Amino acid sequence: MKDGKIQVHYLTRVEGHGNIHVEIAGGELRSFRWEIPEAPRFFEAMVRGQSYADVAHITSRICGICSIGHTLCALQAVENALGVRPSEQTLLLRKLILHGETVQSHILHAGYLAAPDFLGAPSVVPLVESHREVVLTIIRLHRLANEWCDLIGGRTTHPINAVVNGWTSLPTEEQLSALRTRIEAGLADAWAIVEVFRLFSIPDFRRDTEYLALRHPDEYAFYEGDIASTDGGTTPVSDYRKKVIEFIVPYSTAKRARSDRRPSYAVGALARFNNNYEQLSPQARKAAEALGFRPVCTNPFMNTVAQVVEVVHALEDSLRLIDLLLARGLRREDRTVQVRAGHGVGAVEVPRGVLFHEYTLDERGLVVEANLVIPTGQNHQNIEDDMEALIPQVIERPQEEIRLLLEMLVRAYDPCISCSTHLLEVEFR
């Protein structure tokens, strides 16, 4: 493309749409930017003055896709502020439901958003005819994950059973055993998706990037850990502000972030894969090998492939968690907490990357200060930096091809483009 403008506008959504602007003149990139009006600071205002006991419930509504992650992150932060250490049973159930959400979100993303790109379809809808088995496998896995989250959380999304220092209601051992059987069957479906992804040709683009993810000594971290970087070193979560430095740019209301070392960094499945590959479950490692995928991989388009590997991991690791829960036996536990003033940070790996919640509570347990750092906010600058590196490499290609590649790049990150705005648009004919 010699001259022209590429504009991808998503005006069908009232607000929170992501826009891509690219201007090319004389075969050179003149200007570009990635605009995303999202305003997480309002979430902070919404929890101020609220009780510690309600924070998780309120923040679970921020996102319909990561609602479990927000719930768990809020609970963790509040528990840290109150000096509460939840029981092993509570933690095992939290890890189990978080795996459920990871499968839910990853399989939707890989199947409904990314697969159409690789299969040359404009959306998942025409794939129902051309690749019906693939679509049905995705739906089966997604349904399993929904019912799994429903069983543990009390609802498919926006869980109600998870509370400070425990659970208001527990699954029975029979229900957990039945879930275990279904997850085993789900693993076969996940392998079918791995086989589909083996055939895809992923755009070949690499950019040296810093990847941040939680790391835990005993497991591939989702629920807890220190902040690890592919540049080396770890940072305790309580010091996250030393590693994650938030800033804003004039053309976008969303908060962005850079690291203490670089002007941008990435979080998400690829970041976890790159930092914690050695701790993947045995079948997930095999899936990665089958996909020819090794760390450290600096191709952002591979984020979706990392998600597929993590689906296998989440399913297999859930079998281990259920076995532990069943071996110990489920029992009701005391959830009492002593309310006090305090400050706490929580960090959870949600599907799109590490999420931070930070709260300061007064002596009545009311929130006086809050800070939330969402994964998409952390990825914005990295998306823009990827675009800046990618466009010159493909500038000779036709406009439509460049547009599709840029869209695919954004889709690979699956940015949280404001969950609030699913507003219906209606056409009275």
Partner 1 sequence: MENKGRPVLVLGLGNPLYGDDGFGPAVIEALSRLELPDEVEVLDGGTAGLGLLSAIAGRRRLLVVDVAEMGQPTGTLVHFRWPEVGLIGAVSLLSLHQAGLAEILALAERLGWAPKEVDIFALQPASLGWQRGLSRSARERVPEAVAAILAVLSRVSVGCCEV
Which positions lie near partner 1, rule CB under 8 A? 8, 10, 12-18, 39, 42-43, 45-46, 58, 61-65, 67, 104-105, 108-109, 112-113, 116, 122-125, 128-129, 135, 139, 142-143, 146, 156-158, 407, 410-411, 414-429
Q: Which is nearer to partner 1, 346 or 351 (CB)?
A: 351
Least distance in angstroms from the C-beta of 52 to partner 1? 17
Cβ neighbours of residue 255 under 8 Å, at least 6 residues apart? 40, 41, 246, 247, 248, 373, 377
As a whole number of angstroms, the distance between CA 286 and CA 284 comes to 5
Q: Which is nearer to partner 1, 228 or 254 (CB)?
A: 254
As a whole number of angstroms, the distance between CA 3 and CA 25 comes to 4
As a whole number of angstroms, the distance between CA 13 and CA 146 comes to 26
Q: How many residues does the chain have?
A: 429
Q: Which is nearer to partner 1, 64 or 398 (CB)?
A: 64
φ, ψ of residue 413 in degrees (nearest 5): -80, -15
The kind and range of the H/E element at 21 are: strand 19-25
φ, ψ of residue 314 in degrees (nearest 5): -60, -40
As a whole number of angstroms, the distance between CA 417 and CA 19 comes to 10
Residue 234: helix, strand or coil by DSSP? strand
Least distance in angstroms from the C-beta of 41 to partner 1? 9
Least distance in angstroms from the C-beta of 31 to partner 1? 20
As a whole number of angstroms, the distance between CA 9 and CA 415 comes to 15
Least distance in angstroms from the C-beta of 139 to partner 1? 7
Angle among Cα 115, 119, 123 to the nearest 5 degrees reads 60
Q: Which is nearer to partner 1, 166 or 375 (CB)?
A: 375
Q: Which is nearer to partner 1, 189 or 224 (CB)?
A: 189
Q: Which is nearer to partner 1, 172 or 233 (CB)?
A: 172
- The answer to whether the beta carbons of residues 318 and 46 sit under 8 Å apart is no
Least distance in angstroms from the C-beta of 414 to partner 1? 6
Q: Which is nearer to partner 1, 286 or 411 (CB)?
A: 411
Q: Which is nearer to partner 1, 14 or 245 (CB)?
A: 14
Least distance in angstroms from the C-beta of 115 to partner 1? 12
Least distance in angstroms from the C-beta of 132 to partner 1? 9
The kind and range of the H/E element at 350 are: strand 342-350
**Other Cβ atoms within 10 Å of 173 Cβ, number:** 13
Least distance in angstroms from the C-beta of 421 to partner 1? 8
Check residue 111 and report its DSSP letter: I
